[in-house]
């Protein structure tokens, strides 16, 4: 089980500068992208609300927007990092 906590993830190669989110009982809450395409990032954040942190990489990894990079893919990387640091 992953520990509860908050993460601020510094993105790279995408329009959003950071991704903020909370994990409570293994579930993702309060996802906020700092920057990026507003509709896209709000949509990803809304769809991620209430999802198990382990499912985020499965759903969002390798989504391409700009030469192999995207805000959803960066969120997948953030989730993977969170899991690695909090398991």
Q: Are 10 and 78 in contact (CB under 8 A)?
A: no
**Mean pLDDT of the 23-51 span:** 97
Q: What CATH fold (topology level) applies to the domain 5-86?
A: Sufe protein. Chain: A (3.90.1010)
Check whether 66 has a pLDDT greater than 80.
no
* Beta carbons within 8 Å of 83's beta carbon, 6+ residues apart: 2, 53, 54
Check whether 63 has a pLDDT greater than 90.
yes
Please report how the helices 71-86 and 38-48 are oriented relative to each other, as an axis angle in degrees rounded to 10.
40
Domain locations along the chain? 5-86
* Res 57: pLDDT: 98
For residue 56, how far is the Cα from the chain centroid? 7
* Res 67: pLDDT: 85
């Amino acid at each position: 089980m992953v520990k509860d906590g908050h993460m601020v993830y510094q993105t790279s190669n995408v329009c959003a500068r950071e991704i903020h989110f909370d994990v409570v009982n293994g579930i993702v809450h309060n996802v906020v992208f700092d920057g990026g395409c507003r509709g896209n990032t709000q949509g990803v954040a809304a769809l991620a609300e209430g999802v198990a942190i382990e499912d985020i990489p499965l759903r969002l990894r390798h989504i391409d927007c700009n030469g192999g990079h995207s805000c959803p893919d960066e969120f997948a990387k953030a989730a993977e990092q969170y899991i690695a640091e909090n398991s």
